[in-house]
Structure 1
Amino acid sequence: MSVRVNLLPREFEERSRQRRMVGVGVLVVAAWAALLAFVLLGQLGAVNDAKDERDTAQAEVNRLQAEVQSLAAFQDLADRLNATNAILTTAMDEEVSWAQILNNLALSVPTTASLTTFDGALNEGAPAANEVFTENDAADVGFLNVSGYSTERFAPGVESVLLRFGQVDSFFQQYLSNAAQAEIGDVGVTNFDAEVRLDEDNRTGRYADGLPEVTR
């Protein structure tokens, strides 16, 4: 059996133990520092990525703002066009189809009567105070004055003319202002003057939904 005998002083052994502890501590500190450095580098990378994303987003915002500014002139043009269309639509809202009125007038005259003259006009503003025959001012857009004759005398000739006027949907409040016996050659006739009111069905209404779009 061999026996190991430590001949070194106890102080030397203590210093050796302390040096080993210091070495372990240094290794621990170094490992901790390395870990902190790794974490710090990761954080710096995340910060840089965030900055890059921010710069990219800011560049996109700047681009969009530039586009918006470049389109401002077109928006102004569109606003002016819409305003002009609104003015035209309002102005044309009162448009009346005289072709429709004259066609209805021609179709309503019986074969035993003829018109010699006629004239018409649209209302401007409120009806005159002496127009006591108008039932509905809101629907009254104008009038027709007609003169003519009937070969069937007053009854049933002139009466049938007034009745036929009353059958036209866009005519109303027809009345006789004058009637007189006369002759054309050897034929007895009745001359007459009458007035017919025109309602809002005579409006074209073609711009009620706005002006038509221009296509290219």
Structure 2
Amino acid sequence: MMNKIMTFMSETFAPKVNKVVKNPWFASIQDAIMAALPLVFVGSLVTVVSLLNNIFPGIPDFSKISDFSFGMFGLIVSFLIPYYLLEKKKHAEQKLISGATGLVLFMMMLFPSFSKGGDVTFILSRFGSAGMFLAIITGLFVSFVMNFASKYSLFDEDTAIPDFVVGWFNSLIPITVILIIGWLITFQFNIDFFDVIIAVFSPLSAIVQSYPGFVLSVFIPVFSILLEFLLG
């Protein structure tokens, strides 16, 4: 029985999963999260150190370090997903501006408030893990638009215009389209897209917080290790 299971995992299941993992869209999300993990580690370490304040009240408050490391996780991912996707799609010349556009759209979709004096107010918690789903969605949307636009150019290949100038003009239209869509959703239709995403994924959050969900969350890392072993 065990031999049949291992044969199925190695010869049938693993190759299919490997194909999915190598898909540039899934790989970009994975690479973005993995690249941002050091921020999580720093934030976790600071949180552990902050607990010592209960024993040694004289220790400085390091919580702000956590706010600007782990607390910026979603913000960083919104930049890295378009960055990695354009790189994997062989449009490396557009990866930086695509990442920057992903970051800008993410901040726009966080539904900031503006005072009459021109001050902008964000909810800090939305920049971190709470905004992860929003960061992934905005990052993938920017990736799709920029990747599609990168296949076309306003200039001929033999143009005498410098490449960096060509890149500027080629990115103007997709960036404009992306930001207009964000502007319409947030400032014209007055939709808090962050709350929409939270509402959509709230059933998933409820499942994870249940006992079966907890068991599943513990099993997934073990399964991932086993899968990596099978994939060699």
TM over 0.5: no
Which TM-score band (shorter chain)? under 0.3
Q: Which has the higher strand share?
A: 1
| TM-score, length-scaled by structure 2 | 0.22
| TM-score, length-scaled by structure 1 | 0.23
